[in-house]
Structure formats: structure tokens, C-alpha cells
């Protein structure tokens, strides 16, 4: 919101460099100055002041007493150093004043004009003074800052609690909330809190790191139009694809239809263990009926061979591992994305199995291009321990990224590839990316949102609805039985059209 990050970083560097010089002289160690580029973004940015001191000193294997919040700035404790930094920050703020990112101010004003409530959070106890100095305090309905965090004992980011407190005060649910952050700890907090959308702003050349947890990463909010910011709607508000089948039929007219389908939760109900999800003969018949009328593709998070065996229909396209492994009918189209990441996935799998083997009900499933950690059968109290293990392993494998889904954490190659990209690639390879083509995508999970987004302007996304959240889909069905009925109805529409 405000251009205070450079002021904070400068205050941190001045404080830490003074301390590190004194510490090096006492201990006869080599003096290594505090790096704004490396240390600030990794250890202190976005965190409560004392957490930042503690985490940075730990990175240098330096231990000092924790102290008390009222320690004077010249006292060599965690709190004393934090207070020393704060004193220098306030001096710099007084000297330089506070400036805003104008594009952010414009963006927030548009949100408010559209009737969207806004809240501001900050780990800083100076939040109110900074906003008032910048003249933007009136842009927010609620404020939760470092003073509130201390009073309410709210843990700092990357824990999501400070965001959740703001959401509580706004009177909305996390699933209907967008988190906008530029700090690594902040975007991770947004992901941990299961918010509807997490937008990362790359102000420190760390787009790849932000993308591990953010749904969208931009250099500036001016890259997002107002329409993009609010184009997702709540799943409960989606019209029924079955009830609107006649309108969908009008969209088809003389266009060639391509249908993409997720597997788990779409063609089969979600079950306790992934190996128990078997396709019913009725659903298989509906797929065969539709495959005779249009191009049909199954895109699943499962391995390619697994989903091919489960569906067992010749002449259609299959994409496994969320589109990382694609195979066309009779081998006419083959594609694999991510082979270079296999050794890293192997090592991450081994680490996860060791960390999670004692947690009852937790299942580590290795796919060719991903590692899924299932916790549907795990005691809820154990889930944070599982996520911590996944995050720790992720820290050791910077070429991987964490994604989520229904009762699952997943590690995948950290490259710009997902179900949406796979859909676009398949359409292009088949020469079906023109205006005379109408692609459908039917899915139920968060991983399917990438495909819904890809087809937003040129196709029809249909969500299998089971929870109220934000989505890019245009229609919904209630369960897998309604998926089967829709596929049958679509096949009948295509039969009428061809006759």
C-alpha cells in the first residue's frame, strides 16, 4: 500500500549492521553485513518486529536473551534490538514522510466503489501513523496491526491469524476474501488461511518464490483490471448446467465441441482412499456415448497410466499429473512437461515418507510428476503437523511448489504449467483453438480453476459443486450423477445438431 518497505529495510540494515559489527569485534568473527536483497525479504519482511530479529539472528547462529517489550533500544536483547530498529524507522519516517503506490490506491478506490469491503493488516505498530501520513487511512473498513496482534496474542505471518482477524471484523468468510501481499511470509499466510484468492505483488524480484503460494503474481496492481479482480463468483450463485441445457445448446450451434473432464470428484465421488475411486459402468457408457459425438479428454491429477486404466475407453485423450503427461489416441499426440524435476521429486518423496510415517491415516502418494499427501483420514489436530512437514521439505527443494486441493497437499515442479495450460496446448495441437470450437471443462477441485480461467472467454466451465467458494466456472452441477446426466444431455444435443 505504502512505499515504506525501503524505509523499513534501511532501518533494519542500519540496526543490524551496528549490532553485527559489535558482535564480530567481541567474538573475533568475520563481519558480514545485513543484506537487504537476501536477508530482509527472507527473514524480516512482513513479520512482527521481534520475530524478524529472532529469525535473522538464528540464520547467523547468534543467540541473545529475548528480553521484554519495554527494553530500551540500547539493550542487547531481541526486544531491545527490535525497539532500536523501530526508533530508527520512526526517525526516517519523520524525515522522509510516507508515499503510496498510486496504482494500489486507484485499485482500492475501484473496489470500494463496487461495494467491496476492504481491510488493511500490518505487523507494524506504526500502521495507523503511516496510513495517516500517507492520507489513505479512510480507504479501509477495518485495520489490524501490530498493536492489535500484541493485545490479542495473534501469531505473526506466515501464520494466517492476522488476516483471519481482519476477515472476522469485516463479517465475511475466508473463502470470499482476496489477500494482496508483497512479502513472502504474507503470501504464505494467505495460502495457509484458505482464502479465496491470493495475489502476490513482486516488488523485490522474487516472483518465483511468491508464486509458490500466490494464485496470481504481478509487478504492480495496475496489471489487474477491475474485471479480473472481481470476475470470480461464489459457487452457490452459479446457475445449473442441467436446467440451462437449452441455453448451452444455443451456444453450440455449428461449433465443434471439445469436452475436458476431471476424474476424482467429477466422474467418480470423492472416497477415503484414491485407489477406491472406480468408474461406474453407467458413467463409462455416458463417456462412450459422448466420445462418439465430439473430442473427449480426461485431465486428472492421477498418473497417466492410472487414469487410462480406470477409464479404459479407447480413442480419447488422457492427461495425467494435472496435464504434465499427455497422451492422444493411438499415440498421435504425446507430451511430457517436467522431466528435469524427477530427481528432486524423488528426494522430496523420501523425506516426506520419513517425516509422515508415524501419522495415522496420512497417505503419501507418489505420482510421476507430483507427490500428493492425503489427509482425509487424519485427525484434524494433526493436519498442521502434516503441513509443517510439507513446508519444511519444500524449503529444501526450491524447484518445487506446493498446491492444495480437497484434503490434500501436493508438491509439483515449479514451472508455469497446470490444467489450464494443458487444455490450451491440447486445443492448439489439435487445431481446435479457433472461434468455430466450443470447449467444455467439467471439474470439482481448486486445481480445475486453472482450466476454468483458461476457458473463461472462449468456452464453458462447469463446476461439480460441493462447497461455497470463489470460482471461474460459468455453470454448476451438484454431484457426479448430474455430471452423467449432463454428458448424456450434451450427447443428445450433438446428435440433434448433426442430424
Q: Name the one residue in this structure whose C-alpha cell is 473463461.
A: 456
Residue 230, C-alpha cell as written in the block = 472481481
- 177: its cell numbers: 476474501
Answer whether 263's CB lies under 8 Å from 311's CB: yes
Catalytic positions, please? 262
Report residue 175 as a C-alpha cell: 473463502
Q: Which among 455, 463, 453 is positioned nearest to 216, based on CA atoms?
A: 453
Which has the closest alpha carbon to 367: 427, 430, 325? Answer: 325
Q: What is the 3-state secondary structure (H, E, C) of the chain?
A: CECCHHHHHHHHHHHHHHHHHHHHHHHCCCCCCCCHHHHHHHHHCCCCHHHHHHHHHHHCCCCCCCCCCCCCCCCCCHHHHHHHHHHHHHHHHHHHCCCECHHHHHHHHHHHHCCCCCEEECCCCCHHHHHHHHCCHHHCCEEECHHHHHHHCCCCCCCCHHHHHHHHHHCCCHHHCEEEECCHHHHHHHHHCCCCEEEEECCCCCHHHHCCCCCEEECCHHHCCHHHHHCCEEHHHCCECCCCHHHHHHHHCCCEEEEEECCECCCECCCCCHHHCCCCHHHHHHHHHHHCCCEEEEECCCCHHHHHHHHCCCCCEEEEHHHCEEECHHHCCEEECCHHHHHHHHHHHHHHHHHHCCCCCCEEEEECCEEEEECCCCCHHHHHHHHHHHHHHHHCCCCEEEEEECCEEEEEECCCCCHHHHHHHHHHHCCCCCCCEEEEEEECCHHHHHHHHHCCCCCEEEEECCCCCEECCCEEECCHHHHHHHHHHHHHHHHHHHC
β pairing state of 325-327 and 334-336: antiparallel
Amino acid at each position: 500500500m505504502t512505499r515504506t518497505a525501503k524505509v523499513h529495510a534501511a532501518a533494519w540494515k542500519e540496526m543490524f549492521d551496528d549490532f553485527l559489527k559489535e558482535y564480530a569485534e567481541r567474538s573475533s568473527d568475520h563481519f558480514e553485513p545485513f543484506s537487504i536483497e537476501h536477508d530482509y525479504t527472507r527473514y524480516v519482511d512482513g513479520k512482527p518486529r521481534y520475530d524478524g530479529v529472532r529469525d535473522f539472528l538464528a540464520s547467523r547462529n547468534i543467540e541473545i536473551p529475548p528480553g521484554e517489550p519495554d527494553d530500551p533500544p540500547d539493550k542487547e536483547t531481541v526486544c531491545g534490538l527490535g525497539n532500536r530498529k523501530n526508533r530508527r524507522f520512526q526517525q526516517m519516517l519523520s524525515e522522509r514522510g510516507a508515499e503510496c503506490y498510486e496504482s494500489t490506491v486507484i485499485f482500492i478506490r475501484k473496489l470500494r466503489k463496487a461495494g467491496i469491503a476492504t481491510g488493511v493488516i500490518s505487523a507494524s505498530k506504526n500502521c495507523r501513523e503511516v496510513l495517516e501520513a500517507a492520507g489513505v487511512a479512510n480507504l479501509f473498513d477495518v485495520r489490524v496491526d501490530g498493536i492489535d496482534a500484541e493485545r490479542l496474542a495473534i501469531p505473526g505471518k506466515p501464520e494466517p491469524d492476522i488476516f483471519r482477524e481482519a476477515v472476522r471484523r469485516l463479517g465475511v468468510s475466508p473463502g470470499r476474501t482476496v489477500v494482496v501481499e508483497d512479502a513472502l511470509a504474507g503470501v504464505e499466510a494467505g495460502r495457509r488461511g484458505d482464502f479465496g484468492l491470493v495475489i502476490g505483488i513482486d516488488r523485490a524480484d522474487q516472483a518465483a518464490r511468491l508464486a509458490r503460494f500466490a494464485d496470481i503474481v504481478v509487478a504492480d496492481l495496475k496489471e489487474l483490471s477491475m474485471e479480473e479482480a472481481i470476475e470470480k463468483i461464489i459457487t452457490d450463485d452459479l446457475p445449473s448446467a442441467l436446467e440451462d441445457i437449452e441455453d448451452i445448446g444455443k451456444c453450440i450451434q455449428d461449433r465443434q465441441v471439445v469436452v475436458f473432464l476431471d476424474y476424482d470428484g467429477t466422474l467418480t465421488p470423492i472416497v477415503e482412499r484414491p485407489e477406491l475411486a472406480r468408474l461406474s459402468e453407467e458413467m463409462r457408457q455416458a463417456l462412450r456415448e459422448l466420445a462418439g459425438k465430439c473430442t473427449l479428454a480426461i485431465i486428472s491429477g492421477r498418473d497417466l497410466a492410472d487414469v487410462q486404466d480406470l477409464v479404459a475407453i479407447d480413442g480419447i485423450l488422457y492427461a495425467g499429473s494435472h496435464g504434465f503427461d499427455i497422451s492422444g489416441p493411438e499415440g498421435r499426440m504425446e507430451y511430457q512437461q517436467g522431466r528435469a524435476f524427477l530427481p528432486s521429486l524423488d528426494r522430496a518423496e523420501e523425506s516426506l515418507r520419513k517425516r509422515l510415517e508415524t501419522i495415522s491415516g496420512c497417505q503419501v502418494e507418489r505420482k510421476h510428476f507430483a507427490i500428493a499427501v492425503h489427509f482425509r483420514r487424519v485427525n484434524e489436530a494433526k493436519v498442521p503437523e502434516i503441513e509443517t512437514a510439507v513446508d519444511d521439505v519444500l524449503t529444501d527443494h526450491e524447484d518445487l511448489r506446493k498446491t492444495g486441493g480437497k484434503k490434500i497437499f501436493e508438491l509439483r515442479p515449479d514451472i508455469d504449467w497446470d490444467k489450464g495450460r494443458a487444455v490450451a496446448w491440447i486445443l492448439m495441437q489439435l487445431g481446435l483453438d479457433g472461434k468455430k470450437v466450443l470447449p467444455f471443462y467439467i471439474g470439482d477441485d481448486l486445481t480445475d480453476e486453472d482450466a476454468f480461467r483458461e476457458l473463461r472467454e472462449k468456452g464453458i466451465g462447469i463446476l461439480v459443486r460441493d462447497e461455497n467458494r470463489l470460482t471461474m466456472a460459468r455453470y454448476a452441477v451438484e454431484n457426479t450423477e448430474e455430471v452423467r446426466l449432463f454428458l448424456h444431455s450434451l450427447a443428445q444435443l450433438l446428435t440433434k445438431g448433426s442430424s
